[in-house]
Structure 1
Amino acid sequence: MSWIDNNNMLLSQKSLDYLWEKQRIISENIANIDTPGYKSKQISFENELSSKLAKFKNIENPKASDIRDAILDTNVKIDVSEEESNRLDGNNVNLDVEQVELSRAQLQYQYHVFQINDQFSRIRSAIGKG
């Protein structure tokens, strides 16, 4: 594992992939707001990642390769909502909720891009090119 290809960078990459997919799912929900019978979709990643990394919490010096494997083994999960609809057509998309979640995902995405850029800036600075 190199100083560029580390667990921090891998975690940022997985998070960006998740957030990109989350924005796609939310956009799909919004696009189907007028589709009768459409059930909104939710995407999850954070809980699975947290549970996989929790096993390293009480280990004093976990192996970087074990942490890497846990990150790589974490997958995005997409579920269809079973929430009841307040609408007569059976559609359960809540535009307010979707817009808030989309904004949240966009901000998180920007933050992760900033983190990656910051890491590369520190590397450039360390080798005297920054």
Structure 2
Amino acid sequence: MVDKLDAALRFQQEALNLRARRQEVLSSNIAHADTPGYKARDFDFSSSLSQAMAQGRQAQSVSMNTTSARHIQGEASISNDPDLLYRVPTQSSIDGNTVEMDVERVNFTDNAVHYESGLTIIGAQIKSLLSAVQQ
């Protein structure tokens, strides 16, 4: 039963996680608008979402090799961060900064609107599932 609930909400969960990550990247670009030599970053949302959905919820972890029984076992999980790409500027800057504030503001706002709509959709899905369970 829990697997079915997870599967029902998984797409929106992955989409919201990627939207939140993209918002962080765009915020970083805006924050570094006056930093000489800073290169604006972004990622393709649709290809990252399809890649995240194809990979599934497989737990990927890396464990450390030990050479002695007295060593502490270490383990880390591999994050599924999207591949960050450098943005190609339409107008170059003298100081080498590739952040274009108009482009960043538009992308930031567009991403925020999509994030809000994702929250609305997942809220409606949860209400629908709750209604089905209660009846």
Q: TM-score range by the shorter chain?
A: 0.7 to 0.9
Give the secondary structure class of the aligned counterpart of 1:30. helix
Number of residue pairs the alignment of both structures matches: 113
User: 2:41 — aligned with what?
Assistant: 41
Residues 72 and 85 of structure 1: is their aligned pair in 2 closer, same or farther, counting only changes over 3 Å? farther
Larger Rg: 2
User: 1:61 — aligned with what?
Assistant: none
In 2, the alpha carbon distance for the partners of 1:23 and 1:101 equals 9
The counterpart of 2:123, out of the listed 113, 117, 121, is 117
Residues 84 and 115 of structure 1: is their aligned pair in 2 closer, same or farther, counting only changes over 3 Å? closer
1:23-38 → structure 2 map (5 Å cutoff): 23-38=23-38
Q: Does the Cα contact within 8 Å between 2:89 and 2:99 map onto a contact in 1? A: no
Give structure 2 stretches of 5+ with no counterpart. Answer: 59-79
Structure 1, residues 63-116: CA drift from partner, whole Å, max 9, x if none?
Answer: xxxxx6544477511122354752211111110010010011111111111111
Identity, in percent, stands at: 27
1:72-111 → structure 2 map (5 Å cutoff): 72=57, 76-83=82-89, 86-111=92-117
Q: CA deviation at 1:44?
A: 2.4
TM-score by length of 1: 0.73
Give the secondary structure class of the aligned counterpart of 1:4. helix
Say what the alpha-carbon RMSD is for the aligned residues: 2.6
